[in-house]
């Protein structure tokens, strides 16, 4: 029987598949760390109060990248180059999600609208991250090799999502509501396409590494397309709603150190 639990167990049990999985995750987290670090450095003067939280977000993402690399090192594995078709963050940028790297490399202050767009994009992508980590915690939170790391990353992703909700609600009250609504909608519809394409690419790579039969690979690809159909029909709405989180100030203070893995 195909299930998320059994599929991830296959990946964890196979060094080559595990190496690719951790390499993709580490690369994406490191990229997110760089992006948030640059945004924190370029926040406009009128929004400088946000800079420490954006920097904390970036520090968390950097930490997650180090955690995945540490999981590789624990098995004596090296990070692999990430196949371009599986590079979620790069493909998001190509679809206009996130601030352009060309802009972030300049030493010019961002605008208030840039920060509104950044937070709106983050609200969408952090929903995906939080959902995925919730699933992994449910199935592998007690796993002796990866459980501790998964639990920490999941807590961080929940904090990132809470921070996006809180900051966007404040910006909406300050008059940015129309921009936020537009960017959230456009970002969600683009993200679900990128997630589908990346999921299909990762499934194909894992199928080759794990020697899946053609029927199994076809069934998993059909499942990915089914998720996309559900999200395109209406599931994407979960990625754009805003509600004040129970935990306020989720990114205030220094980041929590990475656990030993």
Quick one: tokens of 62?
A: 């950097």
Please name each of the domains of the chain with its CATH number: 15-239 (1.20.1260.10)
Q: Average pLDDT of 167-185?
A: 96
Q: Measure the N-to-C terminal CA separation of the chain; round to a whole number of Å.
A: 31
Max alpha carbon distance in the chain (Å)?
57
More confident residue, 3 or 195: 195
Nearest to 90 by CA among 146, 46, 39, 32: 32
Structure letter (DSSP) for residue 242: -
pLDDT score at 1: 54
Question: What percent of the chain lies above the pLDDT cut of 90?
Answer: 89
Are the C-beta atoms of residues 86 and 24 closer than 8 Å to each other?
yes
Asked if the model's pLDDT at residue 57 lies above 80, the reply is yes
Condensed to tens digits (0 to 9), the pLDDT of residues 100-152 reads 899 999 999 999 999 999 999 999 999 999 999 999 999 999 999 999 999 99
Q: Average pLDDT of 76-91?
A: 95
pLDDT score at 260: 64
Are the C-beta atoms of residues 97 and 190 closer than 8 Å to each other?
yes
Mean pLDDT of the chain: 94
Nearest to 120 by CA among 158, 161, 88, 87: 161
Q: Average pLDDT of 19-25?
A: 97
Q: Average pLDDT of 25-45?
A: 96
Strands (E) in the chain, as ranges, are none
pLDDT score at 98: 83
Asked if the model's pLDDT at residue 257 lies above 80, the reply is no
Asked if the model's pLDDT at residue 207 lies above 60, the reply is yes
Question: What percent of the chain lies above the pLDDT cut of 70?
Answer: 98
More confident residue, 209 or 256: 209
Q: Average pLDDT of 223-238?
A: 96
**What's the rounded Cα separation, in Å, for the pair 71 and 80?**
13
């Amino acid at each position: 029987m195909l299930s998320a639990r059994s599929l991830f167990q296959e990946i964890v049990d196979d060094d080559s598949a595990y190496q690719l999985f951790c390499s993709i995750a580490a690369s994406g987290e490191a990229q997110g760390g760089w992006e948030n670090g640059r945004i924190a450095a370029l926040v406009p003067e009128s929004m400088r109060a946000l800079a420490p939280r954006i920097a904390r977000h970036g520090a968390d993402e950097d930490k997650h990248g180090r955690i995945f690399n540490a999981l590789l090192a624990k098995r004596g594995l090296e990070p692999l180059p990430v196949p371009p078709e599986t590079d979620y963050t790069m493909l998001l940028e190509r679809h206009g999600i996130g601030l352009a790297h060309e802009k972030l490399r300049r030493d010019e202050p961002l605008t208030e609208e840039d920060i509104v767009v950044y937070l709106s994009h983050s609200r969408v992508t952090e929903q995906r991250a939080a959902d995925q980590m919730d699933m992994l915690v449910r199935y592998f939170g007690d796993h002796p090799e990866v459980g501790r790391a998964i639990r920490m990353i999941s807590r961080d992703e929940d904090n990132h999502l809470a921070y996006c909700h809180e900051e966007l609600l404040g910006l909406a009250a300050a008059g940015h509501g129309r921009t936020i609504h537009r960017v959230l909608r456009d970002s969600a519809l683009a993200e679900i396409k990128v997630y589908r394409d990346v999921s299909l690419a990762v499934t194909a790579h894992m199928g080759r590494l794990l020697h899946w039969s053609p029927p199994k690979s076809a069934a998993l690809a059909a499942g990915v397309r089914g998720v996309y159909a559900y999200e395109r029909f209406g599931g994407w709405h979960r990625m754009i709603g805003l509600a004040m989180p129970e935990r306020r100030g989720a990114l205030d203070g220094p980041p929590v150190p990475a656990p030993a893995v």
